[in-house]
Amino acid sequence: MIKSLRGMNDILSEDYKRFTYFINTATKVAQRYGFHFIETPLLEETALFKRSVGESSDIVGKEMYQFIDKGQNDVCLRPEGTAGVVRAFIQKKLDKAGGAHRFFYHGSMFRYERPQKGRLRQFHQFGVESFGVNSVYEDVTMIMMVSDILKELGIGYRLQLNSLGDNNCMPDYRNKLVKFVKECEDDICEDCVRRLDTNPIRVLDCKNDKCQTIYDGAPKLLNNLCDSCDDDFSSLKKILQNNGIEYEIDTNLVRGLDYYSKTAFEFVSDNIGSQSAIAGGGRYDKLVEFLDGRPTPAVGFAIGIERLMELIVMPETSRDGYYIGAMDEEAVDLVMSLAHKKRKTDKVTIDYKAKNFKNHIKAADKICAKYFCIIGSNEMKDGNMIIKDLQNKTEIIIKQEEF
RNA sequence: GUGAGAUUAGCUCAGUUGGUUAGAGCACUGGUUUGUGGUGCCGGGGGUCGCGGGUUCGAAUCCCGUAUCUCACCCCA
C-alpha cells in the first residue's frame, strides 16, 4: 500500500469541517479589518528564503524542501508565508505606489522536520501582512485581529509581548549579550554555545533551567532599547490596555526569523503540548528594502492552523437537507427523479435500495437530515408524498409535482 | 539530526509463562408482517497481528533490522 509521506496528512471528514470553519472565520475577520486576499506560489527561488528568513535560522539551514528543477533553477517549497508576499509586493511595484497595502493569505507551508504534536512537514498557516504603515497602532491592529479570530473560535490564549529593537539599538544589545554569555560559556548548555555563533539572541529562550538561571543576570533587551523603540513599545502597551487586551511582557521572547524588528508577539495556548505557540508575528520594517524594494515599514502575523484545530469550539450542527427513501423496488426510479429535482436547491440523500419504513427513518436520522420523505405503494398510486420534519416532529402531505 | 514509547478488524482496545480455527465494544451490513427516528430483537461480512529476517516442533507473543505513528529535544506556526 502506498502511504502518504511522513508528516503529510490528509484532511477530511470532521477535520475538514474544522479546517474550513477556521479559514472562513479568519477570512471574515481579516476582511472586516479591510485586508485583501493574496495567493502566492508554493514554489519560490531558494535565494528568496535565504535572504529573508536568514541563513542562520534552522528553517533555511536544514528544514527546507530544496531542489534543482528541470530548468536548473534552485527552488524551494515555501517554509513560511511572509517572504513570498513581500516578493509579490515588490514585484507588483506596490512599494513604489505608496500608501497602505494590506493582505491576508492561507495555504500550505513545508518544513523538513521530525513531526510531533502540532508540527507537520506540510502544515497550514493563515497569515496577514500590512505594508506602508509605520504607526504602532497598526501593530495593535494585528494583535486585535488575532485576538478576534481566536475569540470567535472559542480559543483561550495568553499574549506575550516583547520589542526586538531596531538597527539602531539591537546590534549594541547583541554585543552586550554576547559579551555576558561568553563570560559564562563553560556553564551553559551545548546548544547555547552553538547559538552564540549562529544566533546569539536565541540563547534567551533556551529551555535549559541552568542556562535560564544564568541568564537571569544578563542584560535585558527591553532595558537597552533606543528612545524611538522604547516610545513605541510604551504606546503599544498603552493602546492594548485602553482596549482591554491583556498581555504579558516576556523579555526573552525572540523570533526565529531574521527579519523581525521592534514589536514581537506570540499567542500561546497551555493546552496543546510543547509546541504551544499558536500565532506569532511582529514588525519587519527592513525586509522590503532588504529584498530590493523601496524602504517600506511592514508588520504581520501567522497562525498555525494545525496547532489550534483541536482547540476550536465548533458551533452546534443543525439538521439539514432531505432524505428520500423507497419502500418498493418500483419506487426507486421515482425517488431518483425527485432527488434530482430537489438537488437544484437543497441537499438530498437517497438510498438506491427499497427498505421498510423503520429502516429508512433510522437512516435519515443517522445522517442528520431535516426532512424525511418516503415513497411506497400508496404514494405510487395517489401521487402524494409525506414530508416529515425530523426536528419539529411535524409532517405534511403534498403532491409530488409540488416537491 | 537526537532520545523514549507504540503498531492486533473501519475505529477504540483485549489477547495469560510461546501452544488448536486471534477476540470484544462501536461502526458497517442483512432480516425482523409496507408506515413513524437517537438506546428493540436475531443474524452476517471483515484481520498477511506494520513490513522483512531470525530462534523454535510451534511466534501476535522472544531476538535483530526497517517503516510509520506518538511524545520530547533541536527549531518553529
Cell digits of residue A89: 509586493
Predicted local distance difference test score (pLDDT) of residue A324: 93
Which stretches of A243-376 are DSSP H helices?
Answer: 287-290, 305-309, 332-342, 357-366
pLDDT over 80 at A61, yes or no: no
What pLDDT is recorded for position A88?
98
Residues 39-58 of A with CB under 7 A from strand B: 57-58
Backbone angles phi, psi at A105, to 5 degrees: -150, 165
CB A86 within 8 A of CB A287: yes
* Contact between residue A192 and residue A181 where contact means Cβ atoms under 8 Å apart: yes
ipTM: 0.86
Residue A167: the pLDDT is 86
Q: Are A182 and A193 a contacting pair, CB within 8 Å?
A: no
CA of A35 to C1' of B68 (A): 41
> Is the pLDDT at A355 greater than 90, yes or no?
no
Q: Give pLDDT tens digits for A117-149.
A: 888 999 999 999 999 999 999 999 999 999 999
A123 touches strand B (CB under 7 A): yes
Q: Is A81 within 8 Å of A287 (Cβ atoms)?
A: no
Cell numbers found for residue A102: 494590506
Cell numbers placing A357: 419504513
How far apart CA A321 and CA A357 sit, in angstroms, is 19
Q: Which residue has the cell 493574496?
A: A38
**Is strand B in 7 Å reach of the CB of A275?**
yes
Nucleotide with minimal C1' distance from the CA of A356 is: B34
Closest CA to A184 of A164, A207, A203, A205: A203
How big is the CA angle at A52 (ends A269 and A80), to the nearest 5 degrees? 40
Residues ≥6 apart with Cβ < 8 Å to A357: A327, A374, A376
Domains of chain A: 13-169+225-309 (3.30.930.10), 322-402 (3.40.50.800)
Please identify residues in chain A, positions 178-217, with a C-beta within 7 angstroms of any atom of strand B. Answer: 191, 195, 202, 206-208
The one-letter amino acid at A298? A
Q: How far is CA A221 from CA A1, A37, A137, in A?
A: 53, 35, 22
* Cα–Cα distance measured from residue A398 to residue A400, given in angstroms and rounded to the nearest whole number: 6
Give the pLDDT score at A208: 77
Q: Tens digit of pLDDT for each residue in A200-216?
A: 888 887 877 788 888 88
How many other CB atoms sit within 10 Å of the CB of residue A75?
18
Q: Say whether A244 sits in a helix, a strand or coil.
A: coil
Query: Whose CA is nearest the C1' atom of nucleotide B70?
Result: A116
- Strand B close to A371 by CB, under 7 A: no
C-alpha A262/C-alpha A252 separation (Å) is 14
Cβ atoms < 10 Å from Cβ of A237: 16
* Residue A258 confidence (pLDDT) above 80: no
* Distance from residue A84's CA to nucleotide B1's C1', rounded to whole Å: 28
**Arithmetic mean of pLDDT over chain A:** 91
